[in-house]
């Protein structure tokens, strides 16, 4: 049986929304909403990795699976690695890194992202993408991934050269920030220095490509709403008011 775990990184401080992880979304916090979606996947277990005692105490109200990590991490990936290290998992255990601000993440997206590692022997890393809506393409906050015919990531970038876009628009997709890898690959990644392209684009997944780790993606039908701004928060509340 192909077993995997989910680790959700969650930090207390956030630039645009104060204590975002603890925001109330119709009676449940943001981080609880993400957790409840993740446990609907086929994951063997779901863990939350946090730098905050406040978040740790909150999570214990709905799950014992919370790991307190260092406050010094530069990224959620580093936090996921520390959590996995503390869990003492095997090198070949597959981990799905689910962002802590995705209260509507489709459990099937988690399953499909994990399956990339199980089914594709060339894949060091799995991720997901979706078709762009035209009005979203020019926003540098919407990361583009350029795919090969076999759904291998050739590049990730924020802005696309107009000439290249006119020739290859069908190969550009919107990247979805979910990742799968085994523990050994994750450990290798966090030990590598930040790459030139990673720094230039502020996209840590480029460190994988720059070090010859192949990333394969699954295409999903629709992008779930992440919560980064007050506008996102209001949109999420509206969705929940219509569905809860």
**Which has more confidence, 205 or 163?**
205
Cα 241 to its chain centre, rounded Å, is 25
- Per residue in 9-64, pLDDT (tens digit) is 999 988 778 899 999 999 999 999 999 999 999 999 999 999 999 999 999 999 99
Q: What is the pLDDT of residue 195?
A: 96
Spatial separation of the C-alpha atoms in residues 82 and 85, rounded to whole Å: 5
Whole-number pLDDT of residue 35: 99
Query: What value does the mean pLDDT of the chain take?
Result: 94
| pLDDT band at residue 135 using 50, 70 and 90 as cut-offs | low
CA 154, 159, 163, 165 torsion-angle sign: positive
Confidence of residue 123 (pLDDT cuts 50, 70, 90): very high
Domain boundaries, given as residue ranges, for the chain:
4-243
Find the mean pLDDT for residues 231-237: 92
- Separation CA 161–CA 159 (nearest Å): 7
Q: Kindly tell me if the per-residue pLDDT of 134 is higher than 80.
A: no
Could you give the dihedral angle defined by the CA atoms of residues 165, 152, 93 and 87, in that order, rounded to the nearest 10 degrees?
Answer: -20
Please tell me the class of the 4-243 domain: alpha beta
Distance of CA 198 to CAs 71, 149, 191, Å? Answer: 22, 24, 15
Bridge partners of 157? Answer: 144
The pLDDT value recorded for residue 176 is 95
Per-residue pLDDT for 131 more than 70? yes
Q: Where are the alpha helices (DSSP H) in 88-201?
A: 107-119, 162-168, 183-191, 196-201
Give pLDDT, residue 97. 99
Mean pLDDT, residues 172-176 taken together:
95
pLDDT at residue number 161: 86
Q: Coil, strand, or helix at residue 214?
A: coil
Residue 217 near residue 153, CB atoms below 8 Å:
yes
Mean pLDDT across the stretch 127-143?
A: 86
């Amino acid at each position: 049986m192909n077993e995997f775990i989910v680790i959700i990184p969650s930090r207390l401080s956030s630039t645009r929304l104060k204590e975002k992880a603890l925001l109330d979304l119709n009676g449940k916090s943001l981080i609880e909403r993400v957790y409840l979606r993740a446990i609907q996947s086929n994951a063997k277990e779901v863990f939350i990795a946090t730098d905050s005692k406040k978040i740790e105490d909150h999570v214990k109200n709905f799950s014992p699976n919370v790991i307190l990590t260092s406050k010094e991490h530069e990224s959620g990936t580093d936090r996921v690695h520390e959590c996995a290290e503390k869990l003492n998992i095997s090198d070949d255990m597959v981990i799905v890194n689910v962002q802590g601000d995705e209260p509507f993440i489709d459990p099937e997206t988690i399953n499909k992202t994990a399956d990339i590692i199980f089914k594709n022997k060339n894949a060091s890393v799995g991720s997901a993408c979706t078709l762009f809506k035209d009005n979203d393409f020019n926003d540098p906050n919407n990361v583009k991934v350029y795919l090969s015919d076999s759904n291998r990531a050739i590049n990730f970038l924020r802005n696309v050269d107009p000439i290249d876009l006119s020739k290859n628009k069908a190969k550009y997709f919107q990247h979805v920030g979910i990742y799968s890898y085994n523990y050994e690959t994750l450990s290798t990644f966090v030990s590598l220095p930040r790459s030139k392209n990673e720094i230039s684009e502020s996209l840590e997944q480029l460190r994988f490509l720059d070090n010859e780790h192949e990333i394969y993606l699954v295409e999903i039908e629709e992008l779930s709403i992440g919560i980064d701004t007050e506008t996102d928060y209001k949109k999420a509340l509206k969705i929940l008011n219509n569905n809860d």
